[in-house]
Amino acid sequence: MSFQSEPGIIRWRMRFASPPENVFAALATDAGRESFWAESASEANGMVTFHILGYEPFAGRILKRCEPESFCIEYFGTTVEFSLKNDGVGGTDLSLVATDVDESIRWEMTAGWVSVLMAMKAAVDHGIDLRNHDPARTWTNGYADN
């Protein structure tokens, strides 16, 4: 199969040096999401409201939360499931599968998930925030360190 060739689907994997509990907390808590994903990402009544620079705020419903194995959420009209597995040496293998991806934005979203996952790895494994937090330097303006 060629790279990212399934219509309507995006798949990525990422290895973390941190245990699944830490990776899960980054996905499933407000503070975790805000450390790498969004300027704010608060949860209320099973909905997460994302405030991402360059975009209008939007809410995504949490579809599944099974600590520390999986977290599934609606995101920009897609369904995104994160599956976490202990790698046997103290770390985590993460699998991301986004489904129902509109083909007109699939390549942008494919690249966007790389940006999110790399920022997540930096935050979870190293306590580093790779984002620039500058409203003038966003993904929509061509910046990868949104």
- In tens, the pLDDT along 44-92 reads 999 999 999 999 999 999 999 999 999 999 999 999 999 999 999 999 9
Residue range 11-130, CATH number: 3.30.530.20
pLDDT digits (tens, 9 = 90+) for 114-126: 999 999 999 999 9
**Does the pLDDT at position 11 exceed 70?**
yes
pLDDT at 146: 76
104 by Cβ neighbours in 10 Å (0-12 / 13-18 / 19+) ranks as exposed
Q: How confident is the model over 17-37, as a mean pLDDT?
A: 99
Strands, E, within 37-77: which ranges? 40-44, 47-51, 58-66, 70-75
Average pLDDT in the chain: 97
**Does the pLDDT at position 8 exceed 70?**
yes
**Confidence bin at 16 (pLDDT 50/70/90):** very high
pLDDT at 1: 56
23 by Cβ neighbours in 10 Å (0-12 / 13-18 / 19+) ranks as buried
User: Shortest CA distance to 117 belongs to which of 25, 5, 13?
Assistant: 13
Helix (H, G, I), strand (E, B) or coil at 124: helix
